[in-house]
Amino acid sequence: MLLKYLNKKKMQKWLNTPNRALNQMKPVDLFYIPTGLAMVDNVLGRIEEGVYS
């Protein structure tokens, strides 16, 4: 997973910043939605593959 390569500060910033690929929701807020973790995982996978949008 991509987050293992980020330092703690960068990881916290990414998790707490609204994300365009998540309809301007913060990734951390999606942890409490049943499909939220899958959505965040999908975005991280796209970032790893270089197809982030």
Q: What is the pLDDT of residue 1?
A: 54
Checking if the pLDDT of 39 tops 60, the result is yes
Three-point CA angle 47, 42, 21, nearest 5°: 70
- pLDDT single digits (tens) 1-38: 555 666 888 889 999 999 999 999 999 999 999 899 99
Cα dihedral 18, 6, 46, 17 in deg (nearest 10): 0
Residue 52 binned pLDDT confidence (cut-offs 50, 70, 90): low
State if pTM tops 0.75: yes
Q: And the tokens for 37? A: 């973790």
% of the chain surpassing 70 pLDDT: 85
